[in-house]
Structure 1
Amino acid sequence: MYTKNQSIRELVDKNRILIAAHRGTCGGNVVQNTCLAYKNALLHGADMIEVDASMTTDKVFYAFHNGEEPLELGIDRDIRTMSSEEVEKLFTLNSLRQVCGQKLEHLEDVLEHFRGKCLINIDRSWFYWKEIIDLLDRMDMKDQILLKSGVEEELLKELEESGTGIMYMPIMKSPEEWDIIQKYGINVAAA
């Protein structure tokens, strides 16, 4: 189990394998990418939660995987094309695709809720790394955050230039991509 300021290396040395809960552990009225799903995942033994990030047109971040709008919200529109005012009017659907009264949660609220409680992998944030990195820098949680992306030199350069030291987990598809990553002064914590 993660303890505040514990490094990912210490956790691996202790547990050998880390369990990451993709979008939390959901089902029934526990909707993915919500504090309840993440809390459920931690109760089931996860070391790390994976949180998706989507940003609205007015630059408000939600814990949400764009493309899942039909399944999670019953709409056929990418929330990245919506304002936060529009998103706030939406309710999520449960596993039976019925409105369950929950709303999408602000990414900042989710992060604050799990401050010091677990490792947090932020996924799908590469679309707006500058804004995400600025948010994470303000929140001062880099000891428990891992950013994830495909191996794209533009993103690696942006992460290096941020100077934040945020942990990074590349999505690698070939050994050659490791050579690309090694050219950058970034904090690679996992792959």
Structure 2
Amino acid sequence: MKRFLYHGGVATLIMFCFASNLSAQSLQTLPVKTIQDLHDFFKWSNQKAPIISGHRGGMVKGFPENSIATFENTLKHTPAFFEIDPRLTKDSVIVLLHDATLDRTTTGTGKLGDYTWEELKKFRLKDAEGNVTEHRIPTLAEVIEWARGKTILNLDRKDVPFAMTAALIRKHNADAFMMLTVHAPEQAQYYLRDNKNRMFSVFIKSKAELESYEKAGVPAANMIAYIGPTIKPENKELYQLLNGRGIMCMISAASSYDKLTNSEERAAAYRAIIADGATILETDRPIEVAEALKKLK
């Protein structure tokens, strides 16, 4: 009888491990394990397929922005990396939330910075339509450990001090799958002094802005360039300048083409972004973008 129970327990454990492994394999992960992998993944080449960035993870009914559940749901449909929003609680815990206030995206009210992490745990996140979900605000540390081996995180610039951000990345040994959004060369220089291999998403919308990063000593290999939210004639010069240095160009549809009410119009716009010359497309609708881009050669 004991032998039967033992073998039954082993069988149950094997089935559990198989199911867990199968669940992990169902996510479409990115091939990034080292700093060099990260740099290689974002090095421009005209042979590379377009890369999708899920803005705040993506926005699907039932899945709130800046949540692990949303990141996983997106990866079930397409490989992607994620632009996320770190903010600071009253007791200096870094959590994910886009707004400075809780009202739009959670069941709480008021400023996030007025609450401790323990107090925030009682609130639940809302999806883009305002529906309350079962999910709570995650800490950045939780998201970093979830993302390891699965995807890349792009930290937007919010209210977290640079030193705290750098310290948390070091603590979790996460530089191989982290990117930092910077709005000025001086911000990139700060992070490079901490680690010369840091990867950045930089705002470059003109030749002069590119030259300012070059003069500051920010290596081309450490950058992707956000060039704006729309297709426009000036993009052609930027593609030539940036791609010539191995830098990928990103257009974000989150504030522009994602807002189109017709799905066919959105799909055409997504394909036009890639046809225009961008190699990274940031979007609130990463699953929809993946479907639209399947029709590209």
**Unaligned stretches of 5+ in structure 1?**
none
Alpha-carbon offset, residue 76 of structure 1? 4.7
CA contact (8 A) 2:185 2:218 kept: no
Q: Distance in 2 between matches of 1:119 and 1:98?
A: 28
Amino acid aligned to 1:115: R
1:174 corresponds to 2:206: yes
CA contact (8 A) 2:125 2:133 kept: yes
1:121 corresponds to 2:154: yes
Question: Structure 2 length as normaliser, TM-score?
Answer: 0.57
Alpha-carbon offset, residue 7 of structure 1? 2.8
| Closer, same or farther: CA 104–7 of 1 in aligned 2, 3 Å | same
Amino acid aligned to 2:224: A
Alpha-carbon offset, residue 80 of structure 1? 2.9
Deviations 1:50-85 (CA, angstroms, capped at 9, x unpaired): 121111121101122124632201555231343223
CA contact (8 A) 1:54 1:124 kept: no
Deviations 1:78-102 (CA, angstroms, capped at 9, x unpaired): 3134322332222212344233232
Q: Which structure has the greater CA radius of gyration?
A: 2
Question: Structure 1 length as normaliser, TM-score?
Answer: 0.86
1:161 corresponds to 2:193: yes
Q: Distance in 2 between matches of 1:164 and 1:32?
A: 31
Amino acid aligned to 1:181: Y
Question: Paired residue for 1:190, among 217, 224, 231?
Answer: 224
Alpha-carbon offset, residue 164 of structure 1? 4.9
1:135 match: secondary structure: helix
CA RMSD between the two structures: 2.3
Q: Distance in 1 between matches of 2:121 and 2:67?
A: 15
| Closer, same or farther: CA 68–79 of 1 in aligned 2, 3 Å | closer
CA contact (8 A) 1:2 1:119 kept: yes
* Residue of structure 2 in register with 1:47 after alignment: 80
1:168 match: secondary structure: strand
Paired residues for 1:26-105 under 5 Å:
26-67=59-100, 69-105=102-138
Of residues 92-101 and 115-124 in structure 1, the stretch that sits farther from structure 2 once superposed is 92-101
| Closer, same or farther: CA 101–190 of 1 in aligned 2, 3 Å | same
1:91 match: secondary structure: coil
CA contact (8 A) 2:90 2:116 kept: yes
* Residue of structure 1 in register with 2:166 after alignment: 133
Runs of 4+ with >4 A deviation: 11-14
Q: Distance in 2 between matches of 1:158 and 1:47?
A: 27
Deviations 1:101-141 (CA, angstroms, capped at 9, x unpaired): 32101111111011011122111256411101110011112
CA contact (8 A) 1:168 1:186 kept: no
Q: Distance in 1 between matches of 2:197 and 2:49?
A: 24
Identity within the alignment, %: 20
| Closer, same or farther: CA 80–179 of 1 in aligned 2, 3 Å | farther
Q: Distance in 1 between matches of 2:210 and 2:114?
A: 34
CA contact (8 A) 1:125 1:132 kept: no
Structure richer in helix, relative to its length? 2
CA contact (8 A) 1:147 1:169 kept: yes
Of residues 34-43 and 7-16 in structure 1, the stretch that sits farther from structure 2 once superposed is 7-16
